[in-house]
């Protein structure tokens, strides 16, 4: 089978695994980094420090700004709930957008039930937030803006630099869900004032179950912990650190930094090649932006075809309709609907996402297989004859 669902998760780099297994057994560094009284703890702590640095270097941050979590879902929860709680005296209004990941949207819905006011911005047709409209929603009570960098369904890139400037001017904290952009696009947190940023290791060839919330130190951002206990991670997220996962994320980030330009060019070429192979199919619509989108995602709608039937017909090719988390439901993608797509087109969308291990011959095979499947399904469809 061919894997074209890298935006859902990636296989791990062998070098990541090789390093991780050194941190599990008695003859390795299995200790608890919080054990201050013996060398098993010290060694583990040292390894965590190294990884923290590797992760910070990828985004040009200080290692003390890295807070380990179980993944981007938890990071998004911690950022949004943590800020809302800590700054509640200052205000109770948060601005986000309709095309965010559910980990942001559902967290916001939860806060609404607690009396927080949330504005869900409607992106333009091309998926980009209209900055003028955004500014109009800012008020005295606005404490946080949460906008993702790269959309997980379409690959659309938001202008986080411009959004951050508006946030600075209005003295509002800015959270970015960068799960789909870290390791793929250059992010320099010294050059752009993002206050909080979420990402996960498993999207960049690292292990699942580990992620980071970046929390800015200058100027210092405070937040209320959501998981209480031993006071780990400077009190922001308690729990024994999973050293092997952290080491794995560190190596994954080191590799991402080293390969970022090569990966970008490689993925962009493959994605363009895939689109070239599909674009002549009748009634095919591109939901991604080839020029301004992230390089690893190609979202396409095939009119008069049910996305789910196409996925079934593609048997040996792993793709998704919408995001992995919501594809269990048969609802059309809320992201594509927010971009103004009609239900039929939103229903007929497929997300192809590629990665470092994707080959050109896999893409050639995919193009051929999609053509055959579309022909067959349309021949069966009474709507198509009309």
Positions 257 through 316 that interact with ligand PLP (CB under 6 A): none
Q: Is the peptide bond before 219 cis (omega within 30 degrees of 0)?
A: yes
Q: Where are the beta strands (DSSP E) in the chain?
A: 2-3, 66-69, 93-97, 117-121, 142-146, 173-177, 196-200, 211-215, 284-286, 297-302, 317-318, 349-353
Residue 71 binding ligand PLP, by CB under 6 A: yes
Residue 204 binding ligand PLP, by CB under 6 A: no
Cβ proximity to ligand PLP: between 70 and 348 the closer is 70
Q: Which residue has the tokens 């995001």?
A: 323
Least distance (Å) from ligand PLP to the CB of residue 123? 15
Least distance (Å) from ligand PLP to the CB of residue 179? 4
- Do 316 and 2 form a contact (C-beta atoms < 8 A)? yes
Residue 103 binding ligand PLP, by CB under 6 A: yes
Residue 348 binding ligand PLP, by CB under 6 A: no
Please give the structure tokens belonging to residue 222.
Answer: 């405070």
Instruction: Please name the residues in contact with 51: beta carbons below 8 A apart, sequence gap of 6 or more.
Output: 246, 247, 249, 250, 251
- Do 201 and 252 form a contact (C-beta atoms < 8 A)? yes
Residue 101 binding ligand PLP, by CB under 6 A: yes
Cβ proximity to ligand PLP: between 289 and 303 the closer is 289
Among 82, 127, 211, 293, binds ligand PLP (CB under 6 A): 211
Q: Which residue has the tokens 């069966």?
A: 380
Cβ proximity to ligand PLP: between 29 and 200 the closer is 200
Measure Cα distances from 274 to 23, 55, 277, 333 in Å: 40, 32, 5, 22
Positions 22 through 61 that interact with ligand PLP (CB under 6 A): none
Q: What are the DSSP calls for 17-45, one per residue?
A: HHHHGGGSSTTTT---TT--SSHHHHHHH
Residue 177 binding ligand PLP, by CB under 6 A: yes
- Do 352 and 4 form a contact (C-beta atoms < 8 A)? yes
The three-state (H, E, C) secondary structure of 46-70, written as one string: HHHHHHHHHHHHHCCCCHHHEEEEC
Least distance (Å) from ligand PLP to the CB of residue 215? 17
Cβ proximity to ligand PLP: between 201 and 370 the closer is 201
Residue 97 binding ligand PLP, by CB under 6 A: no
Least distance (Å) from ligand PLP to the CB of residue 178? 8
Residue 372 CA to residue 355 CA, distance in Å, equals 24
Least distance (Å) from ligand PLP to the CB of residue 107? 11
Which candidate in 139, 167, 253, 325 is catalytic? 325
Residue 321 binding ligand PLP, by CB under 6 A: no
Least distance (Å) from ligand PLP to the CB of residue 324? 6
Among 19, 47, 179, 287, binds ligand PLP (CB under 6 A): 179
Least distance (Å) from ligand PLP to the CB of residue 148? 5
Beta-carbon neighbour count of residue 384 at 10 Å? Answer: 15
Q: Which stretch binds ligand PLP (CB under 6 A): 31-39, 174-182, 252-260, 283-291?
A: 174-182
Cβ proximity to ligand PLP: between 327 and 381 the closer is 327
**Residues belonging to the chain:** 386
Please give the structure tokens belonging to residue 185.
Answer: 């696009």
In the annotation, is 139 catalytic? no
Among 148, 194, 215, 341, binds ligand PLP (CB under 6 A): 148
Residue 97 CA to residue 285 CA, distance in Å, equals 23
Q: Which stretch binds ligand PLP (CB under 6 A): 16-24, 70-78, 84-92, 296-304?
A: 70-78
Positions 107 through 136 that interact with ligand PLP (CB under 6 A): none
Residue 351 binding ligand PLP, by CB under 6 A: no
Active-site residues, by number, are: 325
Where on the chain is the footprint of ligand PLP (CB under 6 A)?
71-73, 101, 103, 148, 152, 177, 179-180, 200, 202, 211, 325
């Amino acid at each position: 089978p061919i894997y074209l669902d890298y935006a859902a998760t990636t296989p791990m780099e062998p070098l990541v695994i090789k390093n991780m297994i050194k941190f599990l057994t008695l003859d390795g560094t299995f200790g608890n980094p919080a054990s201050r009284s013996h060398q098993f703890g010290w060694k583990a702590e040292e390894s965590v420090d190294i990884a923290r640095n590797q992760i910070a270097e990828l985004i040009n941050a200080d290692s003390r700004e890295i807070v380990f979590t179980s993944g981007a879902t938890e990071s998004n929860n911690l950022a949004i709930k943590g800020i809302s709680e800590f700054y509640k005296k200052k205000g109770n209004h948060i601005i986000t957008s309709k095309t965010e990941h559910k980990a942001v949207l559902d967290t916001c819905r939860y806060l609404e039930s607690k009396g927080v006011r949330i504005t869900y911005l409607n992106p333009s047709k091309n998926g980009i937030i209209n900055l003028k409209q955004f500014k109009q929603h800012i008020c005295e009570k606005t404490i946080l803006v949460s906008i993702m960098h790269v959309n997980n369904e379409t690959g659309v890139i938001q202008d986080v630099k411009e959004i951050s400037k508006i946030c600075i001017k209005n003295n509002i904290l800015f959270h970015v869900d960068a799960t789909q952009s870290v390791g793929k696009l250059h992010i320099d947190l010294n050059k752009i004032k993002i206050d909080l940023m979420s990402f996960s290791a498993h999207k960049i060839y690292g292990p699942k179950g580990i992620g980071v919330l970046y929390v800015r130190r200058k100027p210092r951002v405070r937040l209320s912990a959501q998981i209480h206990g031993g006071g780990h991670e400077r009190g922001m997220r308690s729990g024994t650190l999973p050293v092997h996962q952290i080491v794995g994320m560190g190596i994954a980030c080191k590799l991402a930094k080293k390969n970022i330009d090569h990966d970008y060019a490689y993925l962009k070429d493959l994605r363009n090649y895939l689109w070239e192979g599909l674009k002549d199919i009748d009634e095919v619509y591109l939901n991604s932006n080839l020029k301004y989108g992230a390089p690893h995602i190609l979202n396409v709608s095939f009119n008069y075809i049910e996305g789910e039937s196409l996925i079934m017909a593609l048997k040996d090719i792993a793709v998704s309709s919408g995001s992995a988390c919501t594809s269990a439901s048969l609802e059309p993608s809320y992201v594509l609907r927010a971009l103004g797509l009609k239900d039929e087109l939103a229903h007929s969308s497929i997300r192809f996402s590629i990665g470092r291990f994707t080959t050109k011959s896999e893409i050639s095979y995919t193009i051929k297989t999609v053509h055959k499947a579309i022909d067959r399904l349309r021949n069966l469809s009474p709507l198509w004859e009309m």
